[in-house]
A = this chain, B = another copy of it.
């Protein structure tokens, strides 16, 4: 599947290249990271009570906090912990939603090294318990985003340990995945794709 915008180009008008002056200025986060775009989309869904889905905070190991100042406490020493889950979860249409969002600069394949074993294990457990689980994969060079079902992801994950490839070909993602086209509101209407994978 390829993105076709009015005018016949497959460039995303909301993501102008750095060499072009933006033509639309009336919304925030434009041209920022996948994370920022998803945050905007989740706010949109939240405000309309369509879904309650949040990105989890980055896990931090706090070592030293300065409580002395009259103002707020200041964390003076802390370290990044590795997350034991995916980054996003919540509820939509009564169902538990769980996913991670990953970007790749590759134009031909999504490297499986973007995932950690514990994230895959987390997704497996959520799938077993009846959750709607997937990855949002963005090919940053072309601004294409796909929803890729966790169950499809597991196939490739497991295959790589049996001599399979270390990445998922983009063609496969286009075939098995669900292309999500950028909009104004929400920027990334990924729940449309979720509708398609819900039973």
CB pair A54 B129 closer than 8 Å: no
- In the assembled complex, A91 has its CB within 8 A of some CB on chain B: yes
**Could you say which of A23-31, A67-75, A175-183 contacts chain B?**
A67-75
Interface size class of A (residues with CB under 8 A): 35 or more
Given contacts A52-B125, A60-B75, A129-B49, contact A91 B98 (CB under 8 A): yes
A80 to B78, CA, bound (A): 12
Q: Which residues of B contact A141 (CB under 8 A)?
A: none
CB pair A77 B74 closer than 8 Å: yes
CB pair B89 A122 closer than 8 Å: no
CB pair B78 A78 closer than 8 Å: yes
CB pair B84 A60 closer than 8 Å: no
- Write the residues of chain A forming the contact surface with B, with a CB cutoff of 8 angstroms: 46, 49, 51-52, 54, 56-60, 62, 72-81, 83-85, 89-96, 98, 122, 125-126, 128-131
> Can you sample 15 A-B contacts with CB below 8 Å?
A49-B128, A52-B85, A57-B81, A60-B62, A60-B75, A75-B77, A76-B76, A78-B78, A89-B90, A92-B129, A93-B129, A94-B95, A94-B96, A94-B130, A95-B130
